[in-house]
Amino acid sequence: MSSDPTDAAAPDRPVPDRSAGIEPVPGVAKPDPILRADGIRRSFGGLTAVDVDHLEVQRGTITALIGPNGAGKSTLFNLLTGFDRVDSGQWTYEGRSLQGLAGHQVARRGMVRTFQLTKALTRMTVMDNMLLAAQGQVGEKMLGGLLRLWTTQEAANRKRAIELLERFKLDTKRDEMAGSLSGGQRKLLEMARALMVQPGMVMLDEPMAGVNPALVQSLLGHITALRDDGMTVLFVEHDMDVIMGISDWIVVLAEGKIIAEGCPDDIRSNTQVIDAYLGASHDDPAAATGEDR
Ligand SMILES: Nc1ncnc2c1ncn2[C@@H]1O[C@H](COP(=O)(O)OP(=O)(O)OP(=O)(O)O)[C@@H](O)[C@H]1O
């Protein structure tokens, strides 16, 4: 990563289109992939949740992972970030294998994901949430041990936490319980927590879910600022306006497989994508194309 992600605002410079010229076909090779995955499979009983032959994520882009309910988006996120185990497959981040690593080890390599705040986290202050995130994405079982290890790194971590809370306009909330934050503020905290480990790639799980429409623009600005600061963003989202509005590239999953990839215009006009959404009984078909209803 070339610049400090704690910069308060997105730099005022044009962002190069890093997905220009890439052919819109499933599994297409990218000129400068930060993440490469091959043969990623995961079944639950008889159900194949994920069956991805090849996926590359281009460095420095905002890439959306979309698909109807049950398509396998969350499972793929969990697998790539070490929060679930593949049945088979290999994947690399920055050319190094992540196979078999736990979530916190993946985060320390620089690929970090956001999580909805768990109950335990909502009972901690905003600042303690940030300090805990600095330890990497460990399970709550390890909380006690980590609390004791805080002292050494604490000063540096506090400084970084304050910078990030200022960036996300949460600095006045630092001593409040995370559970008292609004839906949008929680999303901001989830993003701020992810940045504590200075990642090169951030994976956002439904960053707009439960957010008041008034805060959507601000959140979108923060997501594009991550990319403009040099990070790669991969996100799962259902809101088609958001997806079409900020994505450089879109990967479409259906029944565990990548059925389409391309820039927003490619995806909007892709009949296979429209069919996949039309075939999913509990999704709104109009949403598949991002058309006004
Ligand atoms: N732990 C599990 N045990 C059994 N089945 C699971 C498990 N996790 C996911 N599945 C199944 O795997 C399939 C893919 O689920 P997944 O949650 O990854 O889809 P998704 O695309 O994220 O869906 P949504 O958009 O609704 O969140 C679904 O059929 C789901 O029921």
User: DSSP letters along 75-107, please?
Assistant: HHHHHHTTSS--SEEEEEETTEE-TT--HHHHH
- Whether residue 155 is contained in a domain is answered as no
Q: Is 73 in the pocket of ligand 1 (CB under 6 A)?
A: yes
Question: Is the beta carbon of 75 within 6 A of some atom in ligand 1?
Answer: yes
Contacts of 223-227 with CB under 8 Å at 24 or more apart are 223/62, 223/191, 224/10, 224/62, 225/9, 225/10, 226/5, 226/191, 226/195, 226/202, 227/15, 227/60, 227/61, 227/62
ipTM higher than threshold 0.90:
yes
Pocket lining: 71 vs ligand 1, CB cutoff 6 Å:
yes
- Length of the chain (residues): 293
Supply the CATH number for residue 69's domain.
3.40.50.300
| Distance of alpha carbon 65 from alpha carbon 196, whole angstroms | 24
Pocket test for ligand 1, best of 42, 43, 47 (most atoms within 8 A of CB): 47
C-alpha–C-alpha distance, residues 111 and 198, integer Å: 9
**203 CA → ligand 1 middle, Å:** 18
| Domains contained in the chain, number | 1
- Answer yes or no: is 164 within a domain: no
Question: What is the predicted pLDDT for the residue at 1?
Answer: 39
Residue 213 inside a domain? The answer is yes
198 Cβ inside 6 Å of ligand 1:
no
Q: What was the pLDDT predicted at 171?
A: 96
pLDDT of residue 124: 93
- For residue 128, being part of any structural domain is answered with no
Cβ–ligand 1 contact at 47 (below 6 Å): yes
| Residue 43 forms part of a structural domain | yes
| Cα(76) to centroid(ligand 1), Å | 9
pLDDT at 10: 43
- Structural domain harbouring 42: 33-118+197-287
Mean pLDDT by 10 residues, the chain (293 residues): 39 63 93 97 96 97 95 96 96 96 92 84 92 68 59 80 95 96 91 92 91 87 93 94 94 96 92 80 44 41
238 in any annotated domain: yes
Task: Return d(Cα 98, Cα 115) in angstroms, integer.
Answer: 19
Q: Which amino acid is at 189?
A: L
Backbone angles phi, psi at 103, to 5 degrees: -50, -45
**Is residue 174, in this structure, part of any structural domain at all?**
no
The answer to whether position 218 is within a domain reads: yes
